[in-house]
């Protein structure tokens, strides 16, 4: 297993367009997390899956954001009608349990112009 993979690494989009990011977690990890990180800040929690069930969503996750994890494997994060404030690094992580730590992917850098 090569770790957590995220695709694409970079995405530049025009305001108002929809974007979708993909995350492939470590296969043995049943927990998958999405975080958002802006420059100079720590990661902010967006949402969490255990297997295919989305168990928690942050209030940061507006109606324009949706995440799925079909079949409990890979996950997608979609942002509709992007705004400039959505520009950030979107990080995916997987884990077998919180106290064992997360394994993060390299992130997707989104720039909305």
Partner 1 sequence: TQLLEQSPQFLSIQEGENLTVYCNSSSVFSSLQWYRQEPGEGPVLLVTVVTGGEVKKLKRLTFQFGDARKDSSLHITAAQPGDTGLYLCAGGNETSGSRLTFGEGTQLTVNP
Out of 19, 69, 107, 112, the residue judged to bind partner 1 by CB under 8 A? 107
Distance CA 77, CA 92 (A): 10
Residue labelled with tokens 């979107």: 90
Shortest separation between residue 13's beta carbon and partner 1, angstroms: 19
Q: How many amino acids of this chain bind partner 1 (CB under 8 A)?
A: 29
Residue 103, by phi and psi: left (phi above 0), alpha (psi -120 to 50) or beta? beta
- Footprint on residues 28-87 left by partner 1 (CB under 8 A): 31, 33, 35, 40-45, 48, 50, 55-56
Q: Are 105 and 23 in contact (CB under 8 A)?
A: yes
Question: Which residues make beta-bridge pairs with 29?
Answer: none
Shortest separation between residue 51's beta carbon and partner 1, angstroms: 12
Q: In terms of CB distance, is 14 or 59 closer to partner 1?
A: 59
The reply on whether position 11 binds partner 1 by CB under 8 A is: no
- Count the neighbouring beta carbons within 10 Å of the beta carbon of residue 40: 5
- Count the neighbouring beta carbons within 10 Å of the beta carbon of residue 53: 9
Q: Point out which residues bind partner 1 (CB under 8 A).
A: 4, 31, 33, 35, 40-45, 48, 50, 55-56, 91, 93, 95, 97-107, 109
């Amino acid at each position: 297993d090569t770790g957590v993979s995220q695709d694409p690494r970079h995405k530049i989009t025009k305001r108002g367009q929809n974007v979708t990011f993909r995350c492939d977690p470590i296969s043995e990890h049943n927990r998958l997390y999405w975080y958002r990180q802006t420059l100079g800040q720590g990661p902010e929690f967006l949402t969490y899956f255990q297997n295919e069930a989305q168990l928690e969503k942050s209030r940061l996750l507006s109606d324009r954001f949706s995440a799925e994890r079909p079949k409990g494997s890979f996950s997608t994060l979609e942002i509709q009608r992007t705004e400039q404030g959505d520009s950030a690094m979107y990080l995916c992580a997987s884990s077998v349990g919180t106290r064992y730590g997360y394994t993060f992917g390299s992130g997707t850098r989104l720039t909305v112009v």
